[in-house]
Amino acid sequence: MIFDLHSHTYFSDGALSPEALVERAKARGVSVLAITDHDTIAGVGLAHKAAVKAGIELIAGIEFSSQWGKGGVHIVGLGVDPDSPGLQAAIKFQELAREARSQAIGERLSRAGFPGALAGAQALAGEGTLGRPHFAQYLVSIGAVKNINAAFKKYLGTGKPADVKYQWPLMDEVIGWIHSAGGVAVLAHPAKYELTRMKMCALVDSFAAAGGDAVEVISGLQPMSLTQDLINIVNARSLYASCGSDFHVPDQTWQELGSFGVLPDNVKPVWNLLGF
């Protein structure tokens, strides 16, 4: 049985509709899929209908941005109640924060000679939540930079003209939102924040102290040695373990639905907290 507990649709920065995501998961042998768009549950209803049709289990999820020290970390909520007032207020809060940040980025880019940046990025975001990747895409689309990387290097990255600092809510607050909606809080992809191992352990400790439940020990294709290391870190703290592809778009083979290592037997799987 394959549990893929981290995936995105075009309601955030994924490419597929919820329906297409569910169909792709089914075709890839996934039995239990969590949809975890960034700071939104807008795709959950449609995904749920599609999952019933496809005969797979759907877990309502969300991936919240949170602050840890100077950087952002991601906390996934699994099994959240979409109708929870606390969750809905949290989503609204994040939405307003993102909007304010996008406005500020748009103004900075305008001053840097791209007056159409905000409208252009909004058009590219479509159904999705407007974010920095859309500004990057816009700059590429008008030929201001060669590619997304260059857009961050020249304009959007740290210390560049359109770098707008934003403090995300702290982990205990985000974990509280997830718990208030009846969900399980999972620290997403701890190896992807470019931390030293010591810092990564400190992050997991802070997460556990803030009331977190599980850590994603597998995020897409990754070396076995990393999986083993994360399992040791998680087990030493009696946390649960989660796994998922972090699927966004079909051509990124290292983040394909259902395509990742099997969670070993010596962990407490997070789905035990979700009724499986």
Residues 17-76 that bind Mn ion (CB under 5 A): 63, 74
Nearest CA to 56 among 83, 37, 31, 24? Answer: 31
Q: What's the min distance (Å) between Cβ of 255 and Mn ion? A: 9
**Minimum CB distance to Mn ion smaller for 114 or for 171:** 171
**Minimum CB distance to Mn ion smaller for 14 or for 106:** 14
Q: How far is CA 170 from CA 36, 45, 164, in A?
A: 19, 28, 18
User: On the CB side of 59, how many CA atoms lie within 13 Å of its CA?
Assistant: 29
**Minimum CB distance to Mn ion smaller for 74 or for 108:** 74
Those residues whose C-beta lies under 8 Å from the C-beta of residue 194, and which sit 6 or more positions away, are none
Residue 127 to residue 146: CA distance in whole angstroms? 25
Binding Mn ion by CB under 5 A: which of 3, 5, 13, 270? 13
# chain residues binding Mn ion, by CB under 5 A: 5
Q: What's the min distance (Å) between Cβ of 147 and Mn ion? A: 18
Residue nearest to Mn ion as judged by C-beta position: 74
Kindly state the tokens that stand for 8. Answer: 């995105």
Task: Kindly write out the interface string for residues 243-262 of this chain, putting x where it contacts Mn ion by CB under 5 A and - elsewhere.
Answer: ---x----------------
Nearest CA to 184 among 218, 214, 206, 208? Answer: 214
Q: How many residues does the chain have?
A: 276
Task: Kindly write out the interface string for residues 143-182 of this chain, putting x where it contacts Mn ion by CB under 5 A and - elsewhere.
Answer: ----------------------------------------
List of residues contacting Mn ion (CB under 5 A): 13, 63, 74, 188, 246
